[in-house]
Every structure is written in structure tokens, then in C-alpha cells.
Structure 1
Amino acid sequence: MEEACAMAGLSPSGATLIRLGENAVFRLTEPIVVRVARSTAYASDARKEVAVARWLAEKEFPAVRALPIDQPVIAGNHVVTFWESLSESEHYGSPADVARLLAELHRLEAPVRLSLGRLEPFARAERRLASNGWFSDKDHAFLNDRLMELRTAYARLEFALPPGLIHGDASVGNVIHDRRGRPVLIDLDGFTTGPREWDLVLTAIYYERFGWHTAAEYAEFVKIYGFDVMQWPGYPVLRDVREFLMVTWLSQKAPQDERAAAEVRKRIDSLRTGTSRRDWEPY
């Protein structure tokens, strides 16, 4: 982060870490957010993210804005991007906010120049399983077998909604209220084209599987967007895929964080035994 800031002519003094997930996210003392990806393997995603942000700004869509500098920056073995800070603290959106933003987003048609390609649901999961030596041999074998099963099931899905532009990781965790209280879409690195159901399923499982949303919140989400993904016959498969990806995503934290490691072990056990997900903790 410090090296990248120096390359961009910014001061890292007083920066604070605000999120550690797919990226390490820092807030500078000036209203700027710095996102540091885990490795240069994410360089193409970062370039796409910046390009998408600039296109959305042209469309005046409520999404986070990339700083008007030459980016991304490569610092060491990391790819780094720079963003306007939306607020001094994270005030996350509601399921209703997510529904409104998705309904507006799904009406847009991405220009060819963005070269978004098609959704590859399992690409990052494969990378995470291959590069993470934390898993036990038993768990690694189980997860690889599960990955093959889900690939086969996903390939057989018949989607109900027309495909098009999608966020790729749409949930309340990726909607933040700005300083004026307006919901804004963040984390644009998963933008691609694909089934719109992919953008709806996280809110559904947060309600149905984890109990993180109430029935009233989910009903409002469905009413605003206009489609209930839980009523689609393919929902159980998409639900299982997203749960699997949630496990592999969190596993990246396990080698350095025992609390995350315990959560990953619990989640793997749930996948293996089919027990309730109600005790999964949000990250």
C-alpha cells in the first residue's frame, strides 16, 4: 500500500485498514480508499474494475468512482487501485437498496469496449483450492470432489431471466451509503455478463439459509426487483454453488486467523453433512 501510494503521488501516513477479504482495503487520511489485491493474478480484474467504474460514472450510475489517475498500479507482487471514499465509516445498505441498484444495473447494456466476457463461477474457487496449503488432505479432497459435482450441476441449469450485465457479488455487504445517505454499489471487480439469477441468489440465501435477513426484508427485495429466485427450479443448485464459494473465499483468511479457520472448518462440516447453516457467521 505504501509503495503504491508513493507511485501514485499520495501519502499513506495515517492510513487505516477497513476490510480484509479478496482485497486489503485501506482508507487514507484524505478521502481516498486503496484496494490491494492478493497478487498480480488479479491484474486483469483490477483493470476491468477501473474501466467499469469509469463507464458507470459516464452513465451516472450510483457506483464507487475510481480516481482519475493512471491505474491499476503494480507494487511488488500486488495490484493496487485507488477510489474516492464514500464516507468516513461503513454504513451498509439494505436488501431493498440492493434490489433497486440491481434493477437499475440490469437495465444497462455494457459497451463492447469493456470486454467483460462471460461469468466463470468457479475460476476463483479453483485458484483458492490450488494455492491454499492450509486445508487438510481430507478436506481438500472433499472440496475438489464437491467442485466437480457443482460444475456438472451448474452446466445443466436452465435460467429463467435473460442474461446480461451482472455485478457478480451483489449483497448488502457491497452496498454502502455515501455521505448524503445514498446507497452506492462497490467492489466492481466481479462485473461480467451472465445469468441475472446470479446477482439475486445471495440475498435469497442470506434470508433462507442463514437467517441474516428477515422475511419482510426478503419480500421487499422480491417486490422491488420483480422476481423471486427462490421460486425458480434451479435455485437449490445456485444456492449450493454460492455457499461453496463462500467457504473457499473465507479459507484465504484461515492460515493467519484462527477465528476464520474455525469458521471454515464449521462450514466445511456443514457442506459434508448437510446440517443447518444457521450458525454460519457473516464475514
Structure 2
Amino acid sequence: MAAEFTAESAGAVLTEACHSAGLDATGAELLRLGSNAVYRLASAPVVVRIARDSDALESMQRAVGVARWLETEDFPATRVVAGVEQPALIGGRVVTYWENAQDGEEYARLDELADLLRRLHWLEEPESLRLPYFDPVAKVRDGLRALDVVTDDDRVFLEARAERLSKEYDRLDFVLPFGMIHGDANVGNALRDRDGQAILIDLDGFALAPREWDLVLTSLYYERFGWHTRAEYESFVHHYGFDLMNWPGYPVLADVRELMMTLWLGQQVTTNERAAEEFPRRVQDIRTGGSRRDWQPF
């Protein structure tokens, strides 16, 4: 069994993972601790990702395969480190090694994210990738089962909301083509590399689904959370060529994605103090129809 996923336990895995790959973990910087612990090494232009989910081997195998295929397509995306066997199982965790594309942390603009998604959605993935079908209803149910610290009242509410949304989702009439999606397409997963080019990162969510799923986070961040300006959102729509918010199914898709985000946060309340404060606030706002403008990004 893997230890509880904290900065300390992830750091221990990092040390062992770097040793096994012939790398030096000294001075490594923890960039984020969420679904993955992401470290930037000081000793080499390498980023090490350690998955929170100890059962993430299949998804990380897929991420590595996707990265290698995108490289053959000359698609601007994060690259895996060559010559290192991966994914690796270290200390009960799944570890992958990626080329560090930048020295600091600079995100792409929304219009650049739209260009990346438009180009991605034109690609035809090879059958060898064996991409799964994206099933948001299953993800919501998995998220509910994984909640350890939640009041009985909140659990009943979340389960009822999940059931209602699953029925509404089944009735949606999607208008964009079905095909390959990034799966977590938002500006936080589009970085600018050292040459100034926008690239996609975090490739483990690649799947087959209606393309609306790759647009909903940007719409949600703008319309409900206020994390994007109107001008930024309009630039995204102009460059991609479709405004999701004009599609009648957008509110349902936004509700489902919002619930997925909240349940993901709820799984971290025992190890993340910010998550422990944010999770009940989000549940209350969803329950009462309150404003999402105070929601904090993670």
C-alpha cells in the first residue's frame, strides 16, 4: 500500500525515482501537489510527475504513448525523457519523467489554447493508443465513492445531484464531432516553452468523447468563476470557431464538470488544508445556487 499522498511522502518517492533513473533529486522544486506531485529538477532539465492514484499505471502508460505519438506528428506538446524506462513503479506510486520545457512557469494565452485544441481535434489518433471512452458519469460515481470526509447530509445531496445530472447528460444532443480530446483542457495545461511556443501538458486524460468536453472548462472559468475576462474568452471562441455557451446543453455540461471538480477536491481534504476549507464552501454554493466567484483555483 502506498503511503498517504503528502509533500513528504512524494518527496521520498522522488528521491528513489531519480536514483533509479540516474538523476539527482537535490534541490528539486515542488511545482504542484494535486492529482500529481510535479517536481522540477535543479540538476537536469527534467520534470518528474508522481501520480496520487496508486492505480494510475494504465493512464500514465497511455500518457507516455500519447506524448510519443504527438512527437511523431510534430504537435506542440510536452515530451517524455528519452532513454528512461517509464512509467516506473516507485514506492507504490506511478512515476513519469518529462522534458522541462521552460525555466520558470509561463502559461499560454487563451487564443493559443484554442489554436492547440483546434489542431488537436483535426488529428486522427492511431488505434494503437487504445484511448478509452470518456465516461463522466463513471468519474462522478468514482469521486463519490472516494470521499472519506463528508457529512451525511452533504453526501446525500451530492449523490442526488449526481443522479439527476446523469439523466440530464444522457439526453444531451452534442453538435461537435466525436473524437479524441485532451480531457482536462484549460489554460493551466498550456505552457509557453523556451522558444515562446504554446504547448499542451498533462496528457493522461486523453480519451474519446464529444469535443464539447475540451471547451467546457474555459467557458466555465469565464462564465461562472470569473477567472477569464470577456476579451480573453472571446479570443478563445474566435480562434477555435465555436462558442460552447451558445449550445443549449452547456448548462448541464458545466454542472457535470463543476461537480467533478468539487468531488476531486473533496478527495484531498485530509492532506490539503486549502482543500479542506474550499470543499464545504463549494458544496454549499452548489446546493444553494450561490455565486462561484469566490471559488479558488487548484
TM-score, normalising length: structure 2: 0.92
Deviations 1:23-55 (A, max 9, x none): 010111111001101133111110000000000
Residue 25 of structure 1 corresponds to 38
Moved more, 135-144 or 270-279: 135-144
Identity %: 51
Does 2:64 correspond to 1:64?
no
Contact 1:39–1:77 under 8 Å retained in 2? no
Moved more, 96-105 or 136-145: 136-145
Does 2:17 correspond to 1:4?
yes
Q: CA deviation at 1:95?
A: 1.2
Residue 146 of structure 1 corresponds to 161
Moved more, 51-60 or 113-122: 113-122
Where 1:209 maps in the other structure, the secondary structure is: helix
Deviations 1:51-87 (A, max 9, x none): 0000000001000001122210001221111100111
Residue 197 of structure 1 corresponds to 212
Q: CA deviation at 1:172?
A: 0.5
Q: CA deviation at 1:164?
A: 0.9
Contact 1:51–1:114 under 8 Å retained in 2? yes
Letter in 1 for 2:230: A
Q: Say what the alpha-carbon RMSD is for the aligned residues.
A: 1.2
Deviations 1:118-161 (A, max 9, x none): 11114443333323311122222222222222221111111011
Q: CA deviation at 1:111?
A: 0.3
Residue 219 of structure 1 corresponds to 234
Q: CA deviation at 1:88?
A: 1.8
CA distance in 2: counterparts of 1:24 and 1:31, whole angstroms: 17
CA distance in 2: counterparts of 1:131 and 1:241, whole angstroms: 17
Deviations 1:188-210 (A, max 9, x none): 00001110000011111111111
Letter in 2 for 1:44: E
Contact 1:204–1:218 under 8 Å retained in 2? yes
Contact 2:147–2:263 under 8 Å retained in 1? no
Gaps of 5+ in 2: 1-13
Residue 62 of structure 2 corresponds to 48
Where 1:249 maps in the other structure, the secondary structure is: helix
Where 1:138 maps in the other structure, the secondary structure is: helix
Residues 45-124 of structure 1 mapped to structure 2, 5 A cutoff: 45-68=59-82, 69-124=84-139
Give the counterpart of 1:242 among 254, 257, 265. Answer: 257
Where 2:56 maps in the other structure, the secondary structure is: helix
Moved more, 131-140 or 222-231: 131-140
Q: CA deviation at 1:214?
A: 1.0
Where 1:40 maps in the other structure, the secondary structure is: coil
Residue 8 of structure 2 corresponds to none
Residues matched between the structures, number: 283
Letter in 1 for 2:37: A
CA distance in 1: counterparts of 2:41 and 2:152, whole angstroms: 41
Residue 277 of structure 2 corresponds to 262
Does 2:54 correspond to 1:37?
no
Residue 163 of structure 1 corresponds to 178
CA distance in 2: counterparts of 1:88 and 1:125, whole angstroms: 36
TM-score, normalising length: structure 1: 0.96
Letter in 1 for 2:40: R
